[in-house]
Amino acid sequence: MQRRDTLRLAAALAAAPLLKPALAQAPATAPRWTTAAAPSLARQELYPEVLNGRIYVAGGLLNPNTGYSAHVESYDPATDRWTRLATLPEARHHIALAAAGGFIHGVGGFSGGFPNWRAQASTYVYDPAANRWSEGVPLPYACAEGVFAGVAGRLYLVGGRVREHEAARHFNQHADTARGLVFDPASARWSPIADAPTARNSAAAAVIDGRLYVVGGRQALKQADGSLRQVNVPSLEVYDPAADRWTTRAPMPQAQGGLAATAHGGRLYVFGGEQWVPEQKVFADAWVYDPASDRWSALPPLPTPRHGLGAATVGDRIHVFGGGTRVGGDHASTVHEVLLLGAGA
């Protein structure tokens, strides 16, 4: 018996180190949703930005959608608190924010309540240290519902809706564009970049490894009677600023317009949106895209389905806030849900 016990113990000790790699490769905790402090104002059509660990939001559509706002506030995840900031010089909805050189730049957007929307070319620059907005360099053309992001100190605007003619003052008097622009703060100049493969509005975008990932959105297709048929697109297109070149990657599993996107850990995260045809609906669906494998995977859905919402990453948390809970411009919310990733999950 003694010899058998010795052999068993030796075998157990020899096998023990083999368990260590298996434990090290155990799957990470699955992402999960929680909630955070609500913004002070219910609004939708938000294009937020993160600077120095705080999330900034400006403008937006109110309830009802004939109202729109100059309201600006920031959220501090460390204190779970929203702070009201200096208002925009003029009220806007669909105004897009991006950071460069320690400043927040807000570009374009619409003025007017639905359906009398008019795309604007004005831009504004926010100085967080002074809590002050100033006028920036105007866009070469009026634009709203495009995507806007900073890459290596420059700011890129892609797609959206532009006026069909200078006097355009109605939503139907705008057209989708594939055009893009880059702004260099050093020279204070806007310059054209290569057109995107797809003209669209209400898309979402994030920057990964110095490239701009533009996903989803919709096309407003004008019908014979002058009305618009709003058709979602699932396309994912990637812009490389160094080469001024676009590439097309695997499309979303489901076409979602009016969605939100952000990046974390080298991956693209996408949330919510709405659909007009073939039936009206608001999405709870959330997805993550891995550029290395060119594959999409499903995430836990939004607890509250929304479109026109904002998404921003701080640390291992993705904050998803605001947005409309029903199709169209009404029913804006103050919902603030947080997707916990990595160690925070």
Question: Which residues are registered as beta bridge partners of 155?
Answer: 150, 183
CATH superfamily of 33-344: Kelch-type beta propeller (2.120.10.80)
Q: Which of 56, 92, 61 is nearest to 72 (CA)?
A: 56
82 and 72 in contact (C-beta within 8 Å)? no
At 72, give phi and psi (nearest 5°): -130, 135
Question: Which residues are registered as beta bridge partners of 269?
Answer: 262, 288
Residues in Cβ contact with 19 at an 8 Å cutoff, skipping those fewer than 6 apart? none
pLDDT digit string (tens) for the chain, length 345 residues: 444 444 343 444 344 333 333 333 334 589 999 999 999 999 999 999 999 999 999 999 999 889 999 999 999 999 999 999 999 999 999 999 999 999 999 999 999 999 999 999 999 999 999 999 999 999 999 999 999 999 999 999 999 999 999 999 999 999 999 999 999 999 999 999 999 999 999 999 999 999 999 999 999 999 999 899 999 999 999 999 999 999 999 999 999 999 999 999 999 999 999 999 999 999 999 999 999 999 999 999 999 999 999 999 999 999 999 999 999 998 999 999 999 998 667
pTM of structure? 0.91
Where does the chain have alpha helices with state H?
Answer: 2-15, 19-24
Question: Which residues are registered as beta bridge partners of 129?
Answer: none
Q: Where are the chain's structural domains? A: 33-344
Six token digits for residue 29:
């905790």
- The DSSP letter of residue 111 is E
Looking at 136-273, which runs of residues are DSSP E strands? 147-151, 154-158, 161-163, 174-176, 180-184, 189-193, 204-208, 211-215, 218-222, 228-232, 236-240, 245-249, 260-264, 267-271
User: Would you state the pLDDT for residue 23?
Assistant: 30
